[in-house]
Amino acid sequence: MMATYTGQLLCGDAHPNDDGLMPSSIRTIWLSENSRAAWIIGEPRRRATYMWLPHAPDTILCDGLLMVVTLILERHSLWRSAGIDIDPQNRPMLDLAKAITPDQHDALLNAARAASVGCGLKVIVAGFIGSSILFQLPQVREFGFDVEVLVPVGSRLYNRWARSTLLSGMLEEPEKGLLN
């Protein structure tokens, strides 16, 4: 098991009127990061249903979105159409860097981008403080499903070694005179 969850892809059918997710369709993919990033479908602290290791550090977010298209939208045939003889539905653990070549990876991402257009899915991308995907958010524009991006706007973090709490962003103490 990886050390820290640093992000999440919340997926579901886009609500036609309220911009939210249809409650009966919600699925979560977790991003775990430590020495190597991993996208995990399954509940934290339980055995993962699926775990994918991204192709490269700069494709972590794209590979998570590829997982959405492949396993949430169930577009398994993309792999065969990209010339890849792997059935991802029957591979609970998949290291993309070892399983496919860079050219196959590019073809697969292009097929996934095309399959995401007009699919009716909404993906909420949440990057926590320190997450690698915070630096890859423009990659979301390449996919066609509805999307919301959530990023930290403030934090209160306790440092156990310094025995102090650090406030940042909207949780910082206002300067005297501004709001008082």
Write out the H or E segment, with its range, that includes residue 9. strand 4-13
Distance CA 137, CA 17 (A): 26
Q: pTM for the whole thing?
A: 0.88
Query: Which residue, among 111, 118, 120, has the nearest Cα to 70 in the 3D structure?
Result: 111
166: tokens are: 């650090």
The confidence band for 178, taking pLDDT boundaries of 50, 70 and 90, is: very low
Residues whose CB falls within 8 Å of the CB of residue 127, separated by 6 or more in sequence, listed in order:
6, 7, 133, 134, 137, 149, 150, 151, 152
- Asked if residue 179 has pLDDT above 70, the reply is no
Q: Give the whole-angstrom CA distance, residue 12 versus residue 7.
A: 17
Q: How confident is the model at residue 44 (pLDDT cuts 50, 70, 90)?
A: low
Q: Give the separation between CA 104 and CA 102, rounded to whole angstroms.
A: 5
Tell me 14's DSSP state: B
Extract the tokens encoding 112. 């996934």
Provide, for the chain, the percentages of residues in helix, strand and coil under a 3-state DSSP scheme, each rounded to the nearest 5.
30, 30, 40
Q: What is the tens place of the pLDDT at every residue in 14-34?
A: 887 778 888 878 899 999 998
pLDDT at 51 over 90: yes
| Weakest-pLDDT range from 26-30, 43-47, 58-62, 76-80 | 43-47
- Predicted pLDDT of residue 175: 64
The stretch 85-106 carries a mean pLDDT of 93
* Cα–Cα dist 154/167, whole Å: 7
Other beta carbons within 10 angstroms of residue 9's beta carbon come to: 23
